[in-house]
Amino acid sequence: MPVLIYYLLGAALVAYFVAMVLLWRFQERVVFQPPRPVPDPAGAVKVAYTASDGVALHAFVVGDCAKSSFVILAFHGNADLAAWLVPWASRAARETGACVILPEYRGYGGLRGPPTYDGVTLDAQAALGFVREQLGVPPSRTVYFGHSLGSAVAAELAEAAEPRALVLQSPFSSARAMANRMLMPGLGGLWALVSRVHYDTIRRVRAIRAPVSVAHGDRDLVIPVRMGQEVFDAAPQRGELLVVPGAGHNDVDEIGQALYWDWLRRACQARPVAMTL
C-alpha cells in the first residue's frame, strides 16, 4: 500500500508539473480569445495606423473628433471585437457628446496576430499615438475606457500616459487574482514563475492621478463585483462607483439603462485635480 501511495503521489506531481508547463506555454491563448472577423460595421469610420513593431492595426471612429469636447478611447474584452462595440459607441457619443474610438488588437478583426500581452500593450500605445499625433487630441481631452480585459489594458496605458479620466466596466483586480479562481491548487502562489501576462489593475490604478470610475454588475459570474470595488478603492482620486443590481458581465449598460449612461457621462466629465483644461 505505501508503494502505491508513493506511486500515485509521484504521478500527481508529474501531472501538476506538466499542467504548469502547459499553462506557461498556452496562457495567452486562454487570455486572448479572438472571435471570427465580421464585416465592417455601419455608423463608424475605419482608420488605419501601425504599432511600433510594424504590425498594421485599425480602429473604428464614431463621431466627429474635431468638434467633440473630448475623445473616449475604448478597449474591448478578450472575446469581443471592436466592430461589435459600435452600437455602444454610438449611444455613448450621443449621451456624452464625445467622439469614441474603438481600437482593435492584433489577432482580432482580421489583423495579423497572434495576440500577446506585450503585443496588445504596443497596440494600445499605437491607438493613443493615433489620437495624439493624427487627431491632435491632448491628454486633457482624452478619456480611457475599458471593459473586462480592456479595463486592464486601459489601466496600463493610463499609468504610462495619464488621461483626463479612466473609466472601467467590469474590471478585474489582477491576472494573479483571476488565476486564483482557477481550479488548480497553488496557482496563485506560483503565478510569478508561470505568468507571462502581467496585468495588475489595482497597482496601475494606485499610480495615477486621473479620476477613476467603475461600473460592475452584482451578478457578474466572470469577474466578481468585489474586484470592481477593490479597483475603485485603490484609486487615489475616485470618480464614481456604479453597482448595477441584476447585471452580469456583459449587460451592465442594458440593465443599468439611464443610471449607466448618467454614470458614464459624469465619469467622462470628471476633472483631475492637477490637470489644466
Model confidence at 2, in pLDDT bands (50, 70, 90)? low
pTM for the full model?
0.87
Give the residue from 194, 195, 24, 50 showing the smallest Cα distance to 119.
Answer: 50
pLDDT in tens, 149-191: 999 999 999 999 999 999 999 999 998 888 776 655 555 565 5
Q: What are phi and psi of 93, to 5 degrees?
A: -65, -40
Computed over every residue of the chain, the mean pLDDT equals: 88
DSSP-based three-state secondary structure for 153: helix
- On the question of pLDDT at 239 being above 80, the answer is yes
Question: Using CA atoms, how far apart are residues 106 and 243, in angstroms rounded to an integer?
Answer: 32
Spell out the domains of the chain, with CATH numbers in brackets.
2-269 (3.40.50.1820)
Rounded mean pLDDT, 117-134? 97
Cell readout for 147 is 471593459
Question: Using CA atoms, how far apart are residues 100 and 90, in angstroms rounded to an integer?
Answer: 8
Pairing of strands 99-103, 56-62: antiparallel
pLDDT in tens, 74-115: 999 999 999 999 999 999 999 999 999 999 999 999 999 899
- On the question of pLDDT at 263 being above 70, the answer is yes
